[in-house]
Amino acid sequence: MKLILGSGLIGLLARKILGPTWTIIPYGRSRFFSFTPALDDNFVIRDNRIDDFMATLGATPQHLYRVSCSVGGALLPPTAEIVDPWVTRVHGEDHPGHLVPLYSKRNVFSVYNIRLNELYSRLQKEFSEEIKAGIALGNLGDVNQESVTVGGKKYDNEGIISTIPLDALLKSIGYNAEGLNSKDCHIYHIATTDLDFEGANQIWSTEGYTFYKCNQIAPDRFVFYCDEDMTIPGAYFMQFMRRFDILDGTRIPNGIIQGSPPDLKFLKENHNIKCIGSYAEWDPAMDVATCLMRILTL
């Protein structure tokens, strides 16, 4: 039996690419793309290695997306000097070394004309029978290199792709996940005409505010990402806007990864499990495009 653990976006994309010989073991819906507006940035970064696959979803590279950093009241392109303290603040002192070089190149980039929450909704419909069948199979039990137990029944282990958060996977197969740290992410959807992003789609706040990132998702709609809880968010947002409505707010527990990805060779060697995904690998740099490249080259 070949298994995909998880029925979030990456799990369903893996099923779409790898085909019906792979069985989904669902663990619930995507924490990010099950909502409108999405709780993520909602884009796939263009890369010519995934153009053909994206075309099968009806997506072509069309839009330019711009990220700016707010520094001393000015909106500047990300540079290593600006991004380094931002990454340290968001992902901790021991953040992965590849984040700063990666993010400091990302000022204006091409994205596909597809929204990830809409794609997720389509994939949930397309694989609704497979998700139901996976739930009926039952929970994952013992996993070793040769065999895997699902719902109390033993099968040959022909390969497992895990897309569920690494701490959940490790605990479920009997390992300690104490080294994997994270912070809760607090997200606010706000309507205002008082903000001017000067053409940017996303702002990174480098100035020690509670919000570290903000996306403009429509002319008068913004999604703020905060790494601390706020007792009175209205009072906080008054610092930036005179008139605004907080339309919605939510918390994603453990949504902000801290530290660097651990070495996961032992999962492949002892359990025939390959982890794919930002949370599955505990690596904030794993965006959807990079996950797709990993799945397409399996």
Ligand X SMILES: Cc1cc2nc3c(=O)[nH]c(=O)nc-3n(C[C@H](O)[C@H](O)[C@H](O)COP(=O)(O)OP(=O)(O)OC[C@H]3O[C@@H](n4cnc5c(N)ncnc54)[C@H](O)[C@@H]3O)c2cc1C
Q: Which is nearer to ligand X, 28 or 58 (CB)?
A: 28
Name the minimum Å distance from CB 288 to ligand X: 3
Q: Are 80 and 104 in contact (CB under 8 A)?
A: yes
Three state DSSP letters for the chain: CEEEECCCHHHHHHHHHHCCCEEEECCCCCCCCCCCCCCCCCCCECCHHHHHHHHHCCCCEEEEEEEEEEECCEEECCCHHHHHHHHHHHHCCCCCCCHHHHHCCCCEEEEECCCHHHHHHHHHHHCHHHHHHHHHHCCEEEECCCEEEECCEEEECCCEEECCCHHHHHHHCCCCCCCCEEEEEEEEEEECCCCCCCCCCEEEECCCCCEEEEEEEECCEEEEEECCCCCCHHHHHCCCCCCCEEEEEEEEEEEEEECCCCCCHHHHHHHCEEECCHHHHCCCCCCHHHHHHHHHCC
Name the minimum Å distance from CB 274 to ligand X: 15
Q: Which is nearer to ligand X, 11 or 78 (CB)?
A: 11
Residues that bind ligand X (CB under 6 A): 6-11, 27-33, 40-44, 163-165, 168, 225, 255, 277-279, 286-289
Q: Which is nearer to ligand X, 233 or 277 (CB)?
A: 277
**C-alpha 230: how far from its chain's center?**
23
Name the minimum Å distance from CB 242 to ligand X: 27
Q: Are 167 and 281 in contact (CB under 8 A)?
A: no
Name the minimum Å distance from CB 280 to ligand X: 7
Q: Which is nearer to ligand X, 81 or 251 (CB)?
A: 251
Residue at shortest CB range from ligand X: 8
Q: Which is nearer to ligand X, 30 or 206 (CB)?
A: 30
Q: Which is nearer to ligand X, 1 or 9 (CB)?
A: 9
Name the minimum Å distance from CB 98 to ligand X: 14
Q: Which is nearer to ligand X, 120 or 237 (CB)?
A: 120
Name the minimum Å distance from CB 252 to ligand X: 8
Name the minimum Å distance from CB 243 to ligand X: 26
